[in-house]
Structures are given as C-alpha cells and as structure tokens.
Amino acid sequence: MDSYGLISLLPPLLAILLAWWSKQVVLSLFLGIFSGALVINHYNPILAFMHTLDNYVLASLADSWNAGIILFLLAMGGMIGIINKSGGIIAIGEYVAERANSVLKTKLAAWIMGVLIFFDDYANTLIVGNTMRPITDKMKISREKLAFIVDLTAAAVSSIVPISTWIAFEVGLIKDGFDALGIQASAYSTFVQTIPFRFYSILALGFALIIIFTGKDFGPMLAAEKRARQTGETLRPGSTPMVSKEMEEIEQPEGKSFSFFNSFVPILGVIAVTIIGLWYNGGGLETGVSIQDAYGNADASVVLLWASIIGSFLAGGLALIKRIIGIEEIVAGWIDGAKSMFIACLILILAWSIGSVTDDLGTANYLVSLLQGNIMPQIVPALLFIMASFIAFTIGSSWGTVAIVMPLAIPLANSIGIPMLPTIAAVLTAGVMGDHCSPISDTTIMSSTASAVDHMDHVTTQMPYALTVGAVAALFGFLPAGFGVPAFYSLPVALIVLYLIVNFFGKKAEA
C-alpha cells in the first residue's frame, strides 16, 4: 500500500494541533505516534501501545545517525556546562556587550555568527544560541527573537553553501533523478546553479536583516519584544524554557575565571574538528576526492560527536590548567550541562518516531498524489514549493521531505517542459520553509533548546515570519521563475516587497 489515504494525515496533524492547544510537546508527539500505530495495527490499542514503544521510539533511538546526534547534544551541553561553571558565559557576555552595545549590534552579531558557521545546521544552532543568549538577555532582547535569528540562519545557510553536511544528500538526490531519466548533466553543477533560485532560504536571510536594521516587528514577535524591552522579561512569564535550570543559572567562580578568549577555545575547537573531521571522514585523504565530495560523503553525526567530546576535554583541560575549578567541579559542570539537554533529546526522539510513523502510513505519498492531474506547467515550481513546505511541516523533516518529493519533481519538470533549476530549487528550499514552521522539526527544537525558550513560544512567534517569507518566495520568486524569469530580477523585487511589508505592518518595540 502506497498510502493509507486521508487518514495518513492523522498522526502529524494530531500532534501539531495538540501541541498548539496544550503547549505540551512531549505528550502531543507521543499521542501522535500512538494514533498512527493504532491505524497500522488495525485499531488494536494494546498492540499500538507496544509498537509505539518498540517499533518507533526504540527504533528511532537505535538508529546510528540519531544516536550520534543525541550524544552530540549531550556532549555539547556538557561542554557549555563546563564553560559556564568556569565563568566563561559571563566573560563572553561582558566582552561582546562592550562592543555590541546596542540592540541592533547584538542582533546583527547573532546573525553574522549564524552565517559564518555554515558547515552544519546542528552545530550552528547550538553554538550561536548558547553563545549569544547571555548577551541578548542583557540587552533585553526576547528569547523568542534570539531563537528566530538562530533558527532562520542555521538551515538556510547550510542548505545552500557548496560545502556543508547537506551537500551529499542534495547532490545525491539530483544525481539519482538525472540517472533515472538518462540526463547527462553534472549533479554538483546543477546544485550550484540552483542556488540563486533558493528563494525562501535567500529571502529568509534578507528578511532577518530587514527586521534587525529597521528594528520593527509584527505579530506575536512584536508582543514578545515589547515585553522584553519594557519589563526586562526575556521569557514569557509562566513559560517552560527548553533547557533546565542547570544551564539557566549563569555562574561566576570565586577568584580566577575564564576570559573571553578562554571561553572560545573549546568552541573554536569544535569548529576546527568539525571542519577537518568532515573532510577526513568523507575520504579527504583518498586520491581524487575533492573537498566538496569529502564534505558531502561525511557522516556528520559521527564527526559532530568527535567535535563535541574534544570540545568538552578542551574546556575541562583549560579549566584545570588555569586552576579555575577542580576535576570534581568540571565533572559536575559537564553533567549539569548534559542534563539540560534531556528535554530536547526526548522531543527529538519522539519527532524522529513520528517521522517513521508517517513513512509507514505513506503520508507524503498521499500528499504528492494530490498534485497529480491537469495543472498549468508554469505554476508547477510554485505548487511544488507549497506542497513540499506543507509536507515538511507535517512530518518535521526537511531531508525526509526532499527525499520523497524530488523523485517526483525532476521527472515532472522533464516531462512537461518547465525550467529544471527552479523546480529542483523549490523542493530543496521548501524543506527549510516547512521546518521553520513545524513544532516537530528537529532544528526548530534545537533552536528552542540553544536559546532556552519555551518551544511553542518560539514556533508561534517564528511562524508568521516564515509564512510571510514563504508567500513572497512563492509569488515573487517561484511563480515568475516558472515562466522563465531569471532569479537576478526576481530576488531584488522580492526583497523590496519584504521591506515594504515590514515597514508597513511592523512597529518598534520601544514605541
């Protein structure tokens, strides 16, 4: 059976609606998984409950990639915990606060860091969020705004640069599509040529800059920023931050403490090991393997685990050498940091589990089938973008979405004679768009974790922005591209439209 039809939408929609209504993401995800298992197991509640735990939750944790990401999260949390225990978080905040001495400069610093850490969206999210959080708190910038900047830059950048952990996945799908049709073209060159047509990803980065430089916001984000600026409450009263009190408590040890540069040694170590490790793990030492191929072939979950463990040892070793804290406090700091990631790890496991349920139900296949029929060829890129975005929203996985929709998109573009580049780009960037809106997306969850904000607060404040950029990308990017309009003309027009929207509907939090 290719899909269970309309009922295949039940698990993700139930999980999303329950999460919106109850604000209890863990329980909502579990009930979503259970509802899917109930359908698959012929509505037998006992079998459904058992298979929810073993076929989905346990199986998700047993996957080597997923296990690597969980361990990476724990180790990164531990590293940040040691830096915090050594007074490093305070040192970073004081150093950057002296230079980023305004709200605009602080938000811009977060955006620049998000763009510079381009090689992996997971590492990007955790490093930028944890590093900038004390500074944005001091400047009375809401945690929701920090999570928005962190989330928006991470996947948007990683998905379009020619060297990142995404490259093999994206190029591989393009190559498979070309091979199936006998198209003689370089998949990597095609990938590079699609970059100007990644309208959502490019416009999202531009939109964030417009928000930063104008100082204006609208919707729930405006309310969050007004609260933070006028009351100093960077978190909504009564909210549940996606991090434990161990990481919320910023510490200052007696006597010596980490300096700004000491604090960044472990973080720079993580970045260096990740960059070198991706090259090495992808076969960079082998003859004839290019840097791009090596990065694309690397197992990012393994490399990120290497990097986070080495970063933890660097943080601990530096604290010992500087005689700031002893081994007992180093271990306690690491454990506190790792404990702070428990909620995020639990939600990630459940998010992966519901992805497995939707795969067994054929949710994406059903949504794809809705597109088939008599449609105007020129609007296919825009339709694919909308449909793939919705799939990513429902299953919470940009990679899963692209893997399912791309095999349809390339043959469709080839058969009805529409431009291939914007069609491929529409699918690739739609995964990012859907992820930015979905409460069950792993990168959205990690952004909430790194920014220590209530997860549903992050989703509700970011969604109007993501939908705004998505609508402009569809109307002023993919729709004209379907009629052959070059991205060179569409992108400036779309950016101007976004500026006008922010200028007209936005207001300053200080007003």
Q: Are residues 353 and 308 in the same domain?
A: no
pLDDT, one tens digit for every residue, the chain (511 residues)? 567 888 988 888 888 778 767 767 778 889 989 999 999 999 999 999 999 999 999 998 888 878 887 888 788 888 888 888 888 877 776 777 677 778 899 999 889 888 887 666 776 787 788 878 888 988 899 999 999 999 998 888 888 887 665 766 687 778 877 887 788 877 777 888 899 999 999 999 999 999 999 999 999 999 999 999 999 999 999 888 876 554 555 556 666 788 878 888 888 888 888 889 888 988 888 877 777 778 767 777 788 889 889 999 999 999 899 888 889 999 998 998 888 778 767 877 887 788 788 888 887 677 667 655 557 888 989 999 998 898 888 877 787 778 777 877 888 788 777 889 999 999 999 989 998 998 888 788 888 988 889 999 999 999 999 999 999 999 999 999 999 899 999 999 999 999 999 999 999 987 5
Residue 206 belongs to a domain = no
Q: Are residues 459 and 376 in the same domain?
A: yes
Q: Are residues 125 and 258 in the same domain?
A: yes
The Cα-based distances of 483 to 163, 223, 474, 475 in angstroms read 30, 40, 13, 12
Indicate the SS3 state at residue 132. helix
Residue 184 belongs to a domain = no
Boundary-marking domain end, from 343, 370, 391: 343
Handedness of CA 283, 287, 292, 296 (dihedral sign): negative
Residue 471 belongs to a domain = yes
Bridge partners, residue 217, by sequence: 507
Phi-psi region for residue 506, left (φ > 0), alpha (ψ -120 to 50) or beta? Answer: beta
Contact 130, 80 (CB under 8 A): yes
CA angle 330, 332, 336 (to 5 degrees): 120
**Length of the chain in terms of residues written:** 511
Query: Smallest Cα–Cα separation from 301: which of 492, 68, 30?
Result: 68
| Per-residue confidence (pLDDT) for residue 164, from 0 to 100 | 63
Residues 6+ apart with CB under 8 A from 427: 384, 385, 388, 401, 402, 405, 406, 409
Residue 131 belongs to a domain = yes
Give the pair of three-digit tokens for residue 223.
């309310």
Domain count, the chain: 2
Burial class (CB in 10 A: 0-12, 13-18, 19+), 219: middle
Q: What is the pTM of this model?
A: 0.73
Q: Are residues 115 and 236 in the same domain?
A: yes
DSSP codes of every residue in 26-37: HHHHHHHHHHHH
Residue 459 belongs to a domain = yes
| Per-residue confidence (pLDDT) for residue 462, from 0 to 100 | 95
Residue 200 belongs to a domain = no
Contact 131, 111 (CB under 8 A): no
Burial class (CB in 10 A: 0-12, 13-18, 19+), 404: buried
Contact 204, 155 (CB under 8 A): no
Q: Residue with structure tokens 């490259």?
A: 167
Residue type, 407: P
Give the pair of three-digit tokens for residue 406.
């791309």
Boundary-marking domain end, from 343, 361, 384: 343
Boundary-marking domain end, from 343, 358, 390: 343
CA angle 480, 482, 488 (to 5 degrees): 50
Q: Are residues 249 and 299 in the same domain?
A: yes
Q: Are residues 384 and 447 in the same domain?
A: yes
Domain carrying residue 438: 5-63+344-508
Burial class (CB in 10 A: 0-12, 13-18, 19+), 53: middle
Bridge partners, residue 241, by sequence: 454
Q: Are residues 261 and 117 in the same domain?
A: yes
Residue 167 belongs to a domain = yes
Contact 376, 409 (CB under 8 A): no
d(CA 478, CA 490): 9
Phi-psi region for residue 129, left (φ > 0), alpha (ψ -120 to 50) or beta? Answer: alpha
Q: Are residues 113 and 251 in the same domain?
A: yes
Contact 260, 269 (CB under 8 A): no
Q: Are residues 83 and 58 in the same domain?
A: no
d(CA 170, CA 136): 34
| Cα atoms found within 13 Å of the Cα of residue 399, Cβ hemisphere only | 15
d(CA 152, CA 147): 8
Residue 301 belongs to a domain = yes
Give the pair of three-digit tokens for residue 467.
């939908």
Q: Are residues 275 and 362 in the same domain?
A: no
Q: Are residues 308 and 354 in the same domain?
A: no
Q: Are residues 115 and 144 in the same domain?
A: yes
d(CA 171, CA 293): 10
